[in-house]
Homo-oligomer: A and B are copies of this chain.
Amino acid sequence: MILSTRGRYGLKAMFELGLHYGKGPIPLKIIAERQCIPENYLEQLIAILRKAGLVKSVRGAQGGYLMLRPPDQVTVAQVLLALEGPLAPAECVADPEAPRCRLADECVTRSVWEKIRVSIHDVIDAMTLQHMIEEQLHLHAPTSKHPKE
């Protein structure tokens, strides 16, 4: 069970946008290059993110995309939900409206899926793009450089 490239590319793109938050729009081309994503494909993905209200676009020259909200208000869950649909191992726990299976009043495997779903959500609901950005800074600018001097 592996996420599709949609979710993987999409989160990378959002992360890139997060790094650039507050500094004006970034063109798709740059995002695609930096994160090794086929530009034409990313076009489709970012359209999904736009419709989901996570990014907005600025058309024309010097245009590009930017995040609507600050990175600490965007969770990994929101991004993945938009691109992959509900992150759950089975439909019966992904959608509260989904029909229960009719094997018995309650199906035991369902409770397994539910536990998995909850544990995934514990992680992705808690993790924001800001957390990712901080981790990036921590990893790539360790104690060796002085930020201001």
Nearest B residue to A102 via CB reads B36
Q: Are B109 and A8 in contact (CB under 8 A)?
A: yes
A88 near B2 with CB under 8 A, answer: yes
Rounded to whole Å, the gap between the CB of A18 and the closest CB of chain B is 10
Cα of A94 to Cα of B113 in the assembled complex, Å:
19
Q: Which of the 9-residue segments A40-48, A63-71, A135-143 touches chain B?
A: A135-143
Chain B residues lying within 8 Å of A112, measured Cβ to Cβ, are 11, 76, 123-124, 127, 132
Give the number of times this chain occurs in the complex, counting copies.
2
Question: Could you tell me how many residues of chain A have their Cβ less than 8 Å away from some Cβ of chain B?
Answer: 45
**A35 closest partner in B (C-beta):** B103
Q: Is A61 an interface residue (CB 8 A)?
A: no
Contact A123 B132 (CB under 8 A): no
A18-55: CB near B (< 8 Å → 1, else 0) gives: 00000000000000001110000000000000000000
For the complex formed, measure the closest distance between the CB of A64 and the CB atoms of chain B, giving whole angstroms. Answer: 20
Residues of B within 8 A of A122 (CB): 119
Cα of A139 to Cα of B109 in the assembled complex, Å: 13
Within 8 A of B (CB), among A111-145: 111-113, 115-116, 119-120, 122-124, 127, 132, 135-136, 139-140
Per the bound structure, the CA–CA distance linking A26 and B84 in Å amounts to 38
Contact A89 B2 (CB under 8 A): yes
CB-based contact A1/B11 at 8 Å? no
